Homo-oligomer: A and B are copies of this chain.
């Protein structure tokens, strides 16, 4: 069915190598040969087979994209940006939905079998060891949204979660809150752990009482709503720092359900700044994570790794900022 190199070579009256070279960037072909080949290729509708090329060059132009959070709208942006950014560079994403795949080990095997050129692990709920498994298998890997360590042994692109936790504590303190709660994302996520640490440490420093610490089971509205019921048992809580906007929205609805009004009776601070955070019904004050920068940088880095595998592990962190809307008391007037 498909037209091959050989047929084009025959029609153009040149060798197979000549045809191959016309379709390879930077190869040496004379203008006359190129013209003949291009004409023949056009006539036959020839396009080189990327599979065959991959076998010969040992490059597939496939980038594995491993995620386990297909429920959260925050990931829509991630997918959109990843795919379009890869496409711009003539690369393709090979998606792996980790929630469905049995073991992480299998995922590594699988992507190795497909000879992906690189892998982006986009999740904060997996340990660093997962990303390292790719590295051990000789596959360039970036742990996006991952936990960074001073003695990095794997590329990490994301944010400083500890610092963001501290930022949340400061945000509460500046607005005059004195007793607050933490309603984090899944407890096993490294992002949750780091934010929690930063939040509690800074709260202590600022004399802010953290009356309650709890965690939602996953990044969903429902999990947030359920966990919030627990927080509401404690009447002294004036504001809640949530590990994710979706969780936060669930928590807000639980609070409203209990007759509280926002921000008068209770304040909420979200995380991520997903599109919905700006909707009138929630008007969420939240800490924005610069997804776009993170993704672009991850793609750039993985491409760099492919070109230069020896590159030493890098940590790239992007700043987050508080987006002021209506779910917290306003800052007191300066002066």
The yes or no answer to A71 lying at the interface (CB within 8 A) is yes
List B contacts of A48 (CB < 8 A): 113
Contact A97 B87 (CB under 8 A): yes
Alpha-carbon separation in the docked complex, A280 to B94 (Å): 37
Alpha-carbon separation in the docked complex, A136 to B255 (Å): 57
Contact B49 A249 (CB under 8 A): no
* Per-residue contact bits, chain A 198-229, to B (CB 8 Å; 1 contact, 0 not): 00000000000000000000001100000000
Contact B100 A88 (CB under 8 A): yes
Contact A76 B83 (CB under 8 A): no
- A88, closest chain B residue (CB): B100
**Interface 9-mer from A51-59, A167-175, A310-318:** A51-59
Contact B47 A113 (CB under 8 A): yes
Which residue of B2, B55, B71, B257 contacts A76 across the interface (Cβ within 8 Å)? B71
Q: Which label, helix, strand, loop or mixed, suits the secondary structure of the A interface?
A: mixed
* Per-residue contact bits, chain A 69-93, to B (CB 8 Å; 1 contact, 0 not): 0111101100110011001100011
The yes or no answer to A322 lying at the interface (CB within 8 A) is no
The yes or no answer to A96 lying at the interface (CB within 8 A) is yes
Which residue of B52, B70, B100, B221 contacts A279 across the interface (Cβ within 8 Å)? B221
The yes or no answer to A330 lying at the interface (CB within 8 A) is no
Number of interface residues of A (CB under 8 A): 51
Contact A114 B92 (CB under 8 A): yes
List B contacts of A96 (CB < 8 A): 83, 87, 92
For window 42-69 of A, CB contacts with B under 8 Å fall at: 47-52, 54-55, 60, 62
Contact A79 B79 (CB under 8 A): yes
Contact B71 A60 (CB under 8 A): no
Which residue of B49, B76, B93, B113 contacts A95 across the interface (Cβ within 8 Å)? B93
Contact A95 B97 (CB under 8 A): no
- A275, closest chain B residue (CB): B221
- A110, closest chain B residue (CB): B92
Alpha-carbon separation in the docked complex, A83 to B51 (Å): 22
26 interchain pairs, CB-CB under 8 A: A2-B115, A47-B109, A47-B112, A47-B113, A48-B113, A51-B55, A70-B80, A71-B275, A72-B76, A76-B76, A80-B97, A83-B100, A84-B99, A87-B96, A87-B100, A92-B96, A92-B114, A93-B94, A93-B95, A221-B275, A221-B279, A249-B279, A249-B281, A253-B279, A253-B280, A281-B281
A interface residues, Cβ below 8 angstroms from B:
1-2, 47-52, 54-55, 60, 62, 70-73, 75-76, 79-80, 83-84, 87-88, 92-97, 99-101, 109, 112-115, 138, 220-221, 249, 253, 256-257, 275-276, 279-282
**A47-B109, A92-B95, A253-B281 given; 15 more Cβ-contact pairs under 8 Å:** A1-B138, A2-B112, A50-B113, A51-B51, A51-B114, A55-B55, A75-B76, A83-B96, A84-B99, A88-B100, A94-B94, A221-B275, A221-B276, A249-B281, A253-B280
CB-CB nearest 7 A-B residue pairs: A84-B100, A70-B80, A281-B281, A83-B97, A253-B280, A50-B113, A51-B54
